[in-house]
Each structure stands twice: as C-alpha cells, then as structure tokens.
Structure 1
Amino acid sequence: MAPTDDPLLLLRQAIAADGKIIATTSADSSEEAPLSKATHLVFAHPSRIAVPIDAPTRFTSTEGKAVDLRSIYFAWLNRDFAIPEYNAVATKLNDEMAGAAAVHMFAFVERLVLFTFLEGAQEESEFIKPLQGDKDSAAGTGAATTGAALKTAPAASGRSGRGTLDPRLAQIYNGERRMGDRNTALRGIKATDFSHVRKLAAPFMTRKPGGPPLATGVGSNPALALNQKPARRPDPIILLSPSASALLRMSNAKAFLEGGRYTPPDHNATSTMLHISRTIKEIDPSRPMRFILVEGPEQFKPEYWNRVVAVFTTGQAWQFKNYRWSNPADVFKHILGVYLGWRGDEPPESVRAFGHRVLSCSVEKWRDPGQPGAETSRWRDREVVEAIWKGIEGNMRAKGWRKDAAPTSI
C-alpha cells in the first residue's frame, strides 16, 4: 500500500491541513451522509480520494484486531468526550446501524495513542503497524509523513502556529522530537499506576508526636487511610421467625418479598441466609438495596443490630431469647415488627398486645393449585407485600438510613 493510499495517513494529513472530510453513500457522491449510512469517506486534500468507510487501518486494538476507518473517524469527531459519553454515542451509532456494522469502542490508552498520532505528536506506537515496505517501524510513519508533506508543497500548515511552510522547512520540522501533551508526557502509551507513591509519602504525612495533625494529607483524615476504599453502605437485615408455624420462612421468603407471590414454606430447606433486592425510592432511587434475611441472630456482631430493619414474628416469646433485647416489647420499641397470618384468622393475643408496634398482615389461605380457582386468590399477595415494604421503608427513614450510610444506632 502506497503512503498516499493509507487511510490512517490520509486522515492525519487532512486533519493537519484542515482539509474537508465528507462521509458519503458512494465513491462519486459529494453529498454528506450520516455515518450510520455512509459507505465511503471522501478526502479533499491533497486531492479527492474516496476510501471505503469500513476499510481496515493500521491501527490495531488491544485484542490485536485492525480497527476500521469508520471507528477511527468517529472517535476523532468525538475526541472531546469523556469515556462514558463517548461510549454512549458509540452505542447509539451501533443501534442506528442495526448490526450491519459496529464501531470499535476505544479504551483510554487506545484513544490517547490515536489522538496523539492524528495530531502529529507521535510517530510510532505498538498499536500502529508500520507501512509495508518500511525497513523498521521506528522510521516508517515519519518517512511516509515527510514524503506526503513534500508532495503537498508548497503549502503546509504548522501545528504550533508556524504558518505556511515550504517543503524543506517541513522536512526539518518533521525531524524534531515531538514532546506531545501532558498526557503523553506523564503516561506515554500505557497508563501508569502511581499508588506506590502514597505508601512512600505516608511516613511524612502522619501526625508528629506531640504536635497537631496536618491540615491536609492522609494523616488529617482517617477516611483516607492507605489503600482504603470509600465506605460502602452496609446491607439492611431482616430477621425471620424460626418457628415451624411461621408462614414465611427462608424457603419462600424470596418468592414472597421479591416476587410478590406466596407459596407454602419447605420445612426441609436448610438455608440459613438469603439475599433479596428491593428499590427503596425514598432512600436510594438510583439502585436497588440488598437485604439480608436470617432466622436468628446467633452469628450477629453487636453493630449488626443497627442494621436490622424488620423482625417477623409469630408472637412466641422464645423467638427473642438470643436477641439484643429479650423482652418482645423492647424489641419492637426499636425495630418494626411484622406478623403474617391467614386472611380471616385473628392474630394471636400476644401479637395484638404489641399494638401498633407490630404490623399485622394477612394473605389468602393456600389452596392446592390443582383445585379450580386456586390461582384467582393469589392476586392479593402483591398488595400485602407492598404494605410490608411500605412499613419497612418508613421505619428505615425514621431510623436514619441514607443513600450512602446506615444508622449508627437504633
């Protein structure tokens, strides 16, 4: 491939000369088309050349695959976007092409190398293959660029405001060492991890004996301790009743509280912990909260009690034997109680004695699915579940649950 036929060099030369680049639907067309429908990219400098837009280039991705011209040009058009914004517009373009083609989503290092090459600040890279016929990869790109600059004489635009250059002066400038921008100066073509500097600086940033803590740095803020990640909001805990007569056990709690459908518990189940997800809109509408369900606090640490948001009970006092508060009345002063029974049956006297501290809910009695009309009574399960979650959400707000933190005491 001659240097002037190389898509990557053509794009670089057009950018340097501020030449017009048009995406068209045919090689002979001069009417601009959207990238999702274009078949050719037409360069007006140094002369009109139409290149298939899906032509592979010498730029290879981290997976070793050649990146097509459409992806290169699209990345250049969106060079001012951050990675998340760029990925969003790239996904939109892929959706518009509906599988006919797909643009490559460049990683940070790939974009850095591509832009510095197209801007003329870099001549070689492990991502860019040398031109065919070059004797060594180090001089390949520079020689081709020099030759192209000579052919486009007598006018060539300087990258740093040098004005119009004659061919000889362009060749001299091409021999200069390109310093690049701050990204290439600091990182090169590979991202550098400077986390080890924090360890080296730690002895100098800690508090001196007998002196006040430093105003800034690691020593002034315990939350910025070495290698410590930002504090994650702990998962709220729901305690189920371990009683065999309880309608809600570990075997059917997920289907009921997460799926909104009641099924009888499986008394042969041996699970001791369960995770369910629920979006609590008044606390964190952006992401679901994960709840931990257990039947007993035997493995609890003292601080775990601050995360308990509900206790399901059948009214039996022995359930609270190993609780932080052994008296049920004291338990429900701090934590929301929930009683689940059959519709039409009265709650036990012990549950009624707790008053408003325990939320009493009733589900339709279970009927064999094989019986006629058995499924018609289950539509009310969702209504009961929503009432339970409404009570839990209100209790969590009152106790101080926030989007990024749990209460320190209840």
Structure 2
Amino acid sequence: MSNSALFALREHLKNNDKFTLLDKNNDTIEDINLADKVSFEKEGGNDKYILSLDEETEFSIEGKPVVLKVILHCWIHKDSNAADYLADCQKLHLTNISFLQRNDLMNWLTGQSETSQYIVTSRDQGIKAVDENNNTVASNNATNTVTTSTIIGSTTQTTYSNDRNSGLSELEVIQNEDPVLFKTIQHERVLVDHNSSLRGSKPVDFSYLIKDVELKLVQSLKGSSSSKTGKNKGHVSKNNGPSKSVLRKDPIILIPSATSSILTLSNIKEFLEHSKYINPRDITITTDNDLVTVEKKFEKISRPIRFLIVNNTRMFTKPEYWDRVVAVFTTGHTWQFSNYQWNTAQDLFQHCNGYYFHFNGDEVPQHVQQWNVQRIALDKHQRFKDVEVVRFFWSNLEKSLIAKGYH
C-alpha cells in the first residue's frame, strides 16, 4: 500500500471519514477552488489528518498527473450528472475528468475496484518483460505487459538479486534455481484489458472518442433536464393539445450571413422544403427579410414542425431564443460566431448541432474537421442527388429534436 496522498484520500473516503476544506490559514472554507488543504477526522476520534490539495497524484490524464484537488472535486460530484459536473469544472477552471475516467475513479475510491487503469504507481514504472526468445526487453507500458518481476514474489526477488549481480540473466537464474517456475514462464501469455485490446500493437490514441461521447451525452442530459418541467406537471397526451413549454415553440436554425455561403436565406426554403438546390447567384429576386419559415413533417414526431431560419441574432431579445436553436450552419469562419451566446466553435457546437455544407471535391479546412459538426457534401451538377442529402439532414436533426423533447 502506497503512502501517497491519493491512497490516503482513498482510505478516508472508504471509511466515510468526515472531511473539511481549509484555506492557507487553516480556516474552514466551503469553496474548493479557494481551499489549500483537506482535513479528515475519524468518527469517535480526535486525530485529524491533513492533506495538501496541490499535491500531484498517481492518477493521470493523457500522461499528465492530476492534483488532489481535482480528485476531491470529482468525489464531491459523485452523485451529479455529467452536465452539472462539466459546468462546475468550467466555472471553477478545474480539470474535467471524462465520463469513462470518472467512473473508473469512483469505483476505485469507493473500494468497488482495487485497481484503476489511470493510476500508475512507482512499482508499475520501469518494469521489464521477457520475450519469446528469452531476451529482456524494456517496457514503458506496465499496463500491457505481464513481467517476470510481477510473477516472482518479493522474497524470490531477493534470493535472485545476488546472482544477477554475478552476470547471469534473470531467466538463467530462474532456470538454475527454480526449473518449475522457468517452465511456467515459457508457457505464459500476456494478459490484456479492453483498453489495450482496442489499441492493438500500435499506440493509437482513442481519447477523441471519449470526448465525442461525452459531448453528446451532455447534450442529451441537458435536453432531458430541460423537459423535466413539463413532465412534472403531468403527461400531455396527443388529444390534449401541445405543451406550452419553451420546447414546443418553433425551433430556430441559424445560417451564415456571408454571401459566399452556398446556403442563404434566398435558397434555403427551396432546398429544405423541396429538396432542390439553387445557386444563390442564379436567383434574381432578392429579399430584405431576416427570417424564412420552413415546415417539416417527421416520421417519429406527432405534428409538423415549423422552423424559423435566420442569418443573424438581432431578434434574439430574450435568452429563451438560444434555448430554441437546434441547428447552426457554418461556412468555417469563426467571425460568424462573434455575436452568438457561445462565441467559440468548441462551446457553440457543444450546445447546438453544427452542420458544414460543401460541394463534393472541395477541401474541408483542417480546423473544421476538428469541430463537432456534421459535414454534408452536395453534388455540384447532379441535382437529383439533393433529395438524398436533404433527407439525411432531416433524419439527423430529427434525433436531436426528439432528445430535446419534441414528440
């Protein structure tokens, strides 16, 4: 058992010891962001155990150790949903532990699991593995390798240490001292967990998938939490008419105001209602309206939905208008978001569905490929393919509408 702060924290949390946050002057404080230490007091005892919240722990995210304050903050939110936890992390500017890592950490802190794939101790570092040719190979990943030093107990290692100093390899020592163990090692197999199985023989980083899943989970949770008000007041059947909640108001689609955009207010209605794309340059009739309406009947939603399509936010006089935004079309230019409630692509497309329409063969900018947007390609000349493109867009948006409470 390690004497580190992380393992000490685990023991106190497993024993349900009461803890108090302290500032630099050892005064009690409620805000963990301003706290400097944590004090544990065993039930029925007078002894107090104080741990520094700034101490780095063995728990690592993307190879970087996490401080004890982040671990304790995660524990405080053990009963919170992912959306509330993420919002509090952003508010306090603390490291956000992803959904999968958080579950793994909670199981370890509560004692449900004795190991964690994200905790690397000094014992796990620098260990060695023996290959099929009985050669000793260096291993930098203790998680994916079963080594001879793991199999041999501490007493056996002490017995062999003198022989290793005499110039014999570890396998030769084992062969001379314990033939049975040597034969066992020759038939051993490397044990892998689900994480190393996914990575295979090459070090592939799947962290982007974890973040993608978390973003979609947070969006779903926010949508469900927004619909709780209507559900608490009683179920509204189809015969009783539509609900009066904000979610029942006409949803909004934001499109670019740039003249270079392939979809503008002049051609968006024809495109979304009749599945026909017309180049804006070929449209002679211009309009000064800032709003276009499009109506769509979905298969899984009981009533037709009327969408308000706008190319600016001048009419967003109330915060509720942003709650009604269900899709944002982008040309890839970040200046488009300057007047939005969320003025960065990372924040915007965490709260709203993003769509990047482009022509087949056109290069998608590198930064757009990193955004959480759905990239949809149009054919430049074959207009009969527009039907399939529009059908894909509505099908994708329908899933989001259902998650937000439209039924």
Shorter-chain-normalised TM-score: which range?
Answer: 0.3 to 0.5
TM-score between the two structures when normalised by the length of structure 2? 0.38
Between structures 1 and 2, the one with greater helix share: 2
